[in-house]
Amino acid sequence: MGVDAPATVGTLLRDVDTPALLVDLDVFESNLKRMATDVSALSIDLRPHAKTHKSADIAKAQIESGAVGVCCQKVSEAEALVEAGISDILITNEVVGTRKIDRLAALSKRAKIVACVDNVANVEALENAAGYSGQTLDLLVEVNVGSSRCGVDPKTAVALAQRISESPHLRFSGLQAYHGSAQHVREFAERREAIASASAVVSDVVNQLQIAGIQCQRVTGAGTGTWQFEATSGVYTELQAGSYIFMDADYARNRHEPIEQPGNFGHSLFVYATVMSTPEPGRVVVDAGLKSMAFDAGMPLVVDDLATQYERPSDEHGNLILSKASMAYELGDKLKLIPGHCDPTVNLHDWYVCVRGDVVEAIWPVTCRGALF
């Protein structure tokens, strides 16, 4: 099982088979360096989210440029990255069910692993597994700071932290406080307000913990849309931004302040596609559809001509409604698409085809390919 990569090192870009997941290495490295530089000027840790890229190569590049480790969303992702040599992983998610908890306990013997909880019964199950395997597990309490997905009500966070602290094989390591729904709020000022609100909630929980005699050493959260605000909040100690390394069409729709912000990263991730049919004037069909790009955050953009519209995706096809400027597309032409949402797009591919200029410089496996559970 598993397919060969659509190119090899040295392949010319125009000869890469399609659809393929392309990384523009110049932009990628610029994004990597920019975030590392910006964060190094602040007193906060960077722990990029590997759910974006699922790649051991990229995780290693992030750690080499100053990140303290990476985040994962699933135990199986963490397993694949530990196997590939990553030694410090925060699972920013609850780990529920006997099978998953047993795997978490086993993995914690091989690397520095932290996971999240938002439920007393889950704390008990984790304590039992940790005791059975003879170790101590590090846990963060996830607090709902405004997105209303997982996470406890801030009012009950201290009680859950206490429960962890009282468990002989568990260690309370801090708070998970990610405001997911704030990431794609379009207006700069509204994003800033959302994180100000989240920071106030977290600050209050930290104070309550202190009153209860529980030290909170770590507050972790933030994404590519808001990280500047968490970074300067005085409350957060760690940033989890992930998409900055690639960017996507949806993040590009976020508005920034007129003054250039440190958060302005470039598009380094593309889906490379071929014009496979030219059925009528003004419309061509490309060979990249639902199975090679994510559409939950809208249609992809055509790099060479933003006025051309990608429409009517089906499993293996998409229609390009051409603007006048691009009426020249011919059968076999290849083009770069900027996917609407980078994380679930990467999830569809086995390989990154990494290009510098017009030549393939590296092929990276999607290390956590299929690691859904």
Q: Which of residues 108-167 bind its own copies (CB under 8 A)?
A: 118-119, 121-122, 144, 148-153
- Taking the complex as a whole, the smallest distance from the CB of residue 307 to its own copies amounts, in Å, to 21
By beta-carbon proximity to its own copies, the closer residue of 65 and 309 is 309
Buried b (16+ CB within 10 A) or exposed e, 106-130: ebbeebebbbbbbeeebbebbbebb
By beta-carbon proximity to its own copies, the closer residue of 238 and 343 is 343
Stretch that binds its own copies, among 10-18, 158-166, 170-178, 213-221 (CB under 8 A): 10-18
By beta-carbon proximity to its own copies, the closer residue of 39 and 177 is 177
- Taking the complex as a whole, the smallest distance from the CB of residue 215 to its own copies amounts, in Å, to 26
Terminal Cα-to-Cα distance of the chain (whole angstroms): 19
Containing 161, the helix (H) or strand (E) segment is: helix 157-166
Tokens of 198: 């989240």
Positions in 24-63 near its own copies (CB under 8 A): 51
Cα separation of 219 and 105, whole Å? 23
The verdict on 17 binding its own copies (CB under 8 A) reads yes
Tokens of 335: 């083009």
Nearest alpha carbon to residue 17 among 318, 351, 366: 351
Nearest alpha carbon to residue 291 among 371, 368, 353, 348: 348
- Taking the complex as a whole, the smallest distance from the CB of residue 91 to its own copies amounts, in Å, to 11
Stretch that binds its own copies, among 59-67, 96-104, 128-136, 220-228 (CB under 8 A): 96-104
The verdict on 184 binding its own copies (CB under 8 A) reads no
Positions in 255-294 near its own copies (CB under 8 A): 274-280, 285, 287, 290-292, 294
Cα separation of 264 and 371, whole Å? 30
Q: What angle do CA 86, 262, 115 make, to 5 degrees?
A: 30
Nearest alpha carbon to residue 373 among 18, 90, 116, 96: 96
- Taking the complex as a whole, the smallest distance from the CB of residue 366 to its own copies amounts, in Å, to 7
The verdict on 238 binding its own copies (CB under 8 A) reads no
Cα separation of 219 and 178, whole Å? 9
Which residue among 25, 36, 96, 303 contacts its own copies (CB under 8 A)? 96
The answer to whether 62 and 373 have CB atoms below 8 angstroms apart is no
- Taking the complex as a whole, the smallest distance from the CB of residue 99 to its own copies amounts, in Å, to 5
Count residues contacting its own copies (CB under 8 A)? 73
- Taking the complex as a whole, the smallest distance from the CB of residue 318 to its own copies amounts, in Å, to 9
Unique residue bearing structure tokens 């293996």: 316
Containing 116, the helix (H) or strand (E) segment is: strand 112-117
- Taking the complex as a whole, the smallest distance from the CB of residue 39 to its own copies amounts, in Å, to 23
Positions in 300-319 near its own copies (CB under 8 A): 312-317, 319
The verdict on 19 binding its own copies (CB under 8 A) reads yes
